[in-house]
Structure 1
Amino acid sequence: MDRILEKGIIETKNPLPKSRDSLTPLVPQMTNNLPNDILETVRRALAEDIGGGDITSALLPTDSVGRATLICREDAVLCGILWFDEVFRQLDDRIKIAWEVADGADIGPNQQVCQIAGPAPAMLTGERAALNFLQTLSGTATLARKYAMEVRGTKTRVLDTRKTIPGLRTAQKYAVRQGGCHNHRLGLHDGVLIKENHILAAGSLSAAVQRAREQNRGIPVEVEVESLAECREALASGADIILLDNFELVEIEEATRINAGRAKLEVSGGVELTALRRLAETGVDYISIGSLTKHVRAVDFSLRFEMQGAL
């Protein structure tokens, strides 16, 4: 329960949310390094923004106290509380935040999302960085929710990709899950995905699969294919997952028939939201969507600030 402290400061606790789903071996668990990732990502954002110091907020008396209310301006899925909180914690841990909703919650126009109170100079210094995280991650979660809703009632899972904003990989993958979709590999270190150039370098598709198995025991091997012939070859090589790249609908249906449940099937390549349901109904296991993280529109938030006196 939040409680009001002296001088209008609000105390709240925001524990790390639990995962919204249980994941298959293809879709790795969110790294246990999330708290450290948040610390470092926020540190870099503040260093980028503040540089040698906030020369505008320095005009305020150092003992001045402020209070602010965060308002959402549109329908969205909230995400980014941990990053928002960390911005203000790093600037001045006397700043207290009371959240009225949690990550993953649906929010609407003119809805009050949280209240902030504490030293005014630090609040104004951190406002933009905190909002940048919240707007971007809420935008990611909101888009993910739209895709997740399209495949409801099917076995298909919508996956993200590595096409993320530089420096925000972990944050955006967290947001994807808050929106109801799922993570593909976090990076090159935790999943094998053999593509055309890997096959050329290895000499053949089967050689690439064999080498991947020898070097990465226990990790599923995924192969990207561009034709039904390559799909058959990937099946013969014993690939665990086959990525059907830019296949037409009729080809996906045929690949599903050929596969007959032997490998997991993933569809990728320019998949539009309007086509998602039909693709899911073919029975594929996964549909990966690069636009979940690379075509993000920031959610509109407003932070209303007022002075409250002095410490």
Structure 2
Amino acid sequence: MTVALRPELPALMVEEQVRAALTEDLGRAGDITTLATIGPEMTATADMRVREAGVIAGLELARTTFRLIDPAIRFETLVADGDRVAPGTTIARISGRARGVLSAERVALNFLMHLSGIATYTAKFADEIAHTAAKVCCTRKTIPGLRALEKYAVRLGGGSNHRYGLDDAVLIKDNHIAVSRGVASAIRAARAYCGHLVKVEVEVDGLAQMREALSASPDVILLDNMGPDVLREAVAVNAEHWGLSGGDYAGDPRRTRLEASGNVRIETIRAMAETGVDYISTSKITMAAPTLDIGLDISL
């Protein structure tokens, strides 16, 4: 069995995000509180601890924050991104000039708390459906400017990424269909326009539309706001269309993949996954994820 490697963020992307955050926070005069109260010769050691169970994401962003403030600061990680940790776990130890430690603290924690919160919340959804072949996926509903980071956190939590933007995959939604006046015709138009490497997905609101979509062979059909009974029937329609049954269905590379979306909650995702759909997409894992409580405690 192939083991998936943990995702990584490009160093250039990390530095760009951190520089923007520090520029916002330091403003026009820098950290005037720290500059006014802490002498340049003072040093400090600090432990970064989680106060609740969760999945860690964003350590490299935190490391880069301290490095850009003061390259001499030592940032020692005690866990890795993607690790599940218990309350009270020390995830990093920071030591160096106190001014730099204090000035970098908030930005570093903001990245860690936000991304770890997404990874933790995603893991709760992923754990609910771990006994099935379905994958929970994020959407394009992300905070502007942070999409790549948030999608990184989703993967660390055991989720899968949907398209990153409007340019890397086709998703024909209800409004596209309304304007183009046809499901199958919209799929064919997308195939004619895009290269052979671009996946084509179409959203349908019922089984009749699904059958029309299957006639044009999209890569994925998004089943919008359908309950478990209808989703189960949709899986059967897909299997029938491709002449598949039983064990042949799940692994057949020819068939159209099915994605369920709409009204996805932690209480509903298990029943949706057990219908046999391949993917379940939800904005909740990025837009509704609470931050993970992480603190930085000075130990001098």
TM-score, length basis structure 1: 0.86
Supply the distance in 2 between the matched residues of 1:33 and 1:80 (Cα, whole angstroms). 9
What one-letter code is carried by the residue in structure 1 that aligns with 2:186?
Answer: A
- Offset at residue 234 of structure 1 (A): 0.7
- Offset at residue 36 of structure 1 (A): 2.2
What one-letter code is carried by the residue in structure 2 that aligns with 1:55?
Answer: I
Does 1:212 find its partner at 2:190?
yes
Aligned to 1:179: 157
What one-letter code is carried by the residue in structure 1 that aligns with 2:16?
Answer: E
Does 1:56 find its partner at 2:28?
no
Are the equivalent residues in 1 in contact too, given 2:219–2:257 (CA < 8 A)? yes
- Offset at residue 295 of structure 1 (A): 0.4
SS in 2 for 1:165: coil
Supply the distance in 2 between the matched residues of 1:194 and 1:33 (Cα, whole angstroms). 29
SS in 1 for 2:176: helix
Aligned to 2:279: 286
- Offset at residue 134 of structure 1 (A): 0.4
Does 1:198 find its partner at 2:176?
yes
Cα deviations by residue, 1:18-56 (Å, 9 ceiling, x for unpaired): xx737xxxxxx97x8732221111111111111011111
Supply the distance in 2 between the matched residues of 1:114 and 1:177 (Cα, whole angstroms). 22
What one-letter code is carried by the residue in structure 2 that aligns with 1:251?
Answer: V
Aligned to 1:113: 91
SS in 2 for 1:185: coil
Supply the distance in 2 between the matched residues of 1:21 and 1:203 (Cα, whole angstroms). 41
Are the equivalent residues in 1 in contact too, given 2:228–2:272 (CA < 8 A)? yes
Aligned to 1:13: none
Aligned to 1:232: 211
Which stretches of structure 1, 4 residues or more, deviate above 6 A after TM superposition?
none
Does 1:124 find its partner at 2:102?
yes
Supply the distance in 1 between the matched residues of 2:112 and 2:125 (Cα, whole angstroms). 20
- Offset at residue 193 of structure 1 (A): 0.4
Does 1:264 find its partner at 2:242?
no
What one-letter code is carried by the residue in structure 2 that aligns with 1:252?
Answer: L
Aligned to 1:159: 137
Aligned to 1:101: 79
- Offset at residue 92 of structure 1 (A): 1.1
SS in 2 for 1:237: coil
Supply the distance in 1 between the matched residues of 2:233 and 2:124 (Cα, whole angstroms). 28
Are the equivalent residues in 1 in contact too, given 2:113–2:292 (CA < 8 A)? yes
Supply the distance in 1 between the matched residues of 2:180 and 2:4 (Cα, whole angstroms). 36
Supply the distance in 2 between the matched residues of 1:64 and 1:167 (Cα, whole angstroms). 36
Does 1:297 find its partner at 2:267?
no
What one-letter code is carried by the residue in structure 2 that aligns with 1:232?
Answer: R
What is the percent sequence identity of the aligned residues?
A: 42
**Number of residues paired by the alignment?**
282
- Offset at residue 152 of structure 1 (A): 1.3
What one-letter code is carried by the residue in structure 1 that aligns with 2:143?
Answer: I
Are the equivalent residues in 1 in contact too, given 2:46–2:93 (CA < 8 A)? yes
Cα deviations by residue, 1:38-87 (Å, 9 ceiling, x for unpaired): 11111111111110111111122122221111111111111110111111
Are the equivalent residues in 1 in contact too, given 2:227–2:272 (CA < 8 A)? no
- Offset at residue 163 of structure 1 (A): 1.0
Supply the distance in 2 between the matched residues of 1:153 and 1:216 (Cα, whole angstroms). 36
Supply the distance in 1 between the matched residues of 2:40 and 2:227 (Cα, whole angstroms). 63
Segments of structure 2 that go 5 or more residues without pairing to the other structure are 240-248, 250-254
Supply the distance in 2 between the matched residues of 1:168 and 1:245 (Cα, whole angstroms). 26
Aligned to 1:21: 4
Are the equivalent residues in 2 in contact too, given 1:74–1:110 (CA < 8 A)? yes
What one-letter code is carried by the residue in structure 2 that aligns with 1:279?
Answer: M
Supply the distance in 2 between the matched residues of 1:194 and 1:36 (Cα, whole angstroms). 33
Are the equivalent residues in 2 in contact too, given 1:34–1:170 (CA < 8 A)? no
Are the equivalent residues in 1 in contact too, given 2:9–2:152 (CA < 8 A)? no
- Select between 200-209 and 94-103 the one with higher mean Cα deviation: 200-209
Supply the distance in 2 between the matched residues of 1:157 and 1:102 (Cα, whole angstroms). 23
SS in 1 for 2:32: coil
TM-score, length basis structure 2: 0.89
- Select between 83-92 and 194-203 the one with higher mean Cα deviation: 194-203
Aligned to 1:273: 266
Supply the distance in 2 between the matched residues of 1:116 and 1:299 (Cα, whole angstroms). 20
Aligned to 1:26: none
Supply the distance in 2 between the matched residues of 1:154 and 1:208 (Cα, whole angstroms). 32
